[in-house]
A = this chain, B = another copy of it.
Amino acid sequence: MTATKHNNLLHLNIENGVANITLDNAPVNVLSASLIKALRHLLDELSNNNDIKVIVFDSANPDFFISHVDINILEEQNILDELIKAAPDGLNIFQAVGEMLREQPQLTIVKLKGIARGGGAEFIAAADMCFASLEKGKLAQCEALMGIIPGGGATQYLSSKMTRGRALEIILGADLFDAATAEQYGWINRALPDTEIDIFVDQLAHHIADLPEGVIKTTKKVLPPVRNAEGFKSENDGWATLAFSPGTAEIMKKAMENGAQTVVGELKLEELLRSLM
């Protein structure tokens, strides 16, 4: 096994065709521009490595997988400019994160043992599979509480996974969903007892990595992720209209002043955001 660090934000371990990528952006694993950049570089590198068959994502933080997009992302303007240039035509930089995952030649699996909100939940929805700890895995599209709608693919990914009524409940209810309900809604593959999830995901990843040559590639080709260009445009237009309004800027500012992006604040982010209304 080899272990390397990337940009101080990602740990990489490779073993028998399975690459494990551990996200590590303390204190709450925000999806910052730097983290997106580090992910993009590492995934690019792995996409040229034919020996890697499966990528498993997890988190170094026991409480958070990815809390959400960094509220201070505009402070990394140089990196943002790079990411904007790198985004495929017709996708904003957040949608480009999910679509990057979906185009990865390897099979991608998220092992979810903490909270994933906003862009973190979109990351999960874009991955090929997700298994969550029954006790600790939690997901939310919390954007509505910030005055916006999800802008990184959630409207498209959720619509492909569940009924419209459930997607509306997730986006407009904006609550933190436990893993059992996420399983029920088709948001994730399955919720598994916390004592079993490591062994389950490890075994599944290695079983898949051990498959005879060509099977993964052929299966992914026959079951391609479908990108509805109009849907992504509609999502981005809706998101952008709300995201750049003064009301949203005000909510973001108040959220930061009241504990957003700290461990304590993020553990009860819905309460925090609702208290600002």
Asked if B186 and A163 make an inter-chain contact with CB atoms under 8 angstroms apart, the answer reads yes
Q: How large is the interface on A (under 10, 10 to 19, 20 to 34, 35 or more residues)?
A: 35 or more
Q: Which of B107, B171, B186 contacts A219 (CB 8 A)?
A: B171
Asked if A147 and B215 make an inter-chain contact with CB atoms under 8 angstroms apart, the answer reads yes
A251 within 8 Å of B (CB atoms) = yes
Q: Which of A160, A168, A223, A247 has the most chain B CB atoms inside 10 A of its CB?
A: A223
Asked if A238 and B222 make an inter-chain contact with CB atoms under 8 angstroms apart, the answer reads yes
Q: Mark A231-256, 1 if CB is under 8 A from B, else 0.
A: 10011001101100101100100000
A72, chain B: closest CB distance, angstroms: 20
**A148 partner residues in chain B, CB cutoff 8 A:** 215
Asked if A189 and B215 make an inter-chain contact with CB atoms under 8 angstroms apart, the answer reads no
Asked if B218 and A242 make an inter-chain contact with CB atoms under 8 angstroms apart, the answer reads yes
Known contacts A149-B222, A173-B207, A277-B210; decide if A215 and B165 are in contact (CB<8 Å).
Answer: no
Asked if A147 and B207 make an inter-chain contact with CB atoms under 8 angstroms apart, the answer reads no
Asked if A215 and B172 make an inter-chain contact with CB atoms under 8 angstroms apart, the answer reads yes
A139, chain B: closest CB distance, angstroms: 14
In whole angstroms, how far apart are the Cα atoms of A183 and B190 in the complex?
13
**A169 partner residues in chain B, CB cutoff 8 A:** 129, 189, 204
A window 101-149: CB within 8 A of B: 107, 127-130, 144-145, 147-149
Asked if B234 and A214 make an inter-chain contact with CB atoms under 8 angstroms apart, the answer reads no
Known contacts A172-B211, A207-B174, A215-B172; decide if A234 and B221 are in contact (CB<8 Å).
Answer: yes
Sampled A-B contacts (14; CB under 8 Å)? A127-B165, A144-B219, A149-B215, A149-B218, A149-B219, A163-B189, A165-B189, A169-B189, A172-B211, A172-B215, A172-B216, A207-B274, A210-B277, A222-B234
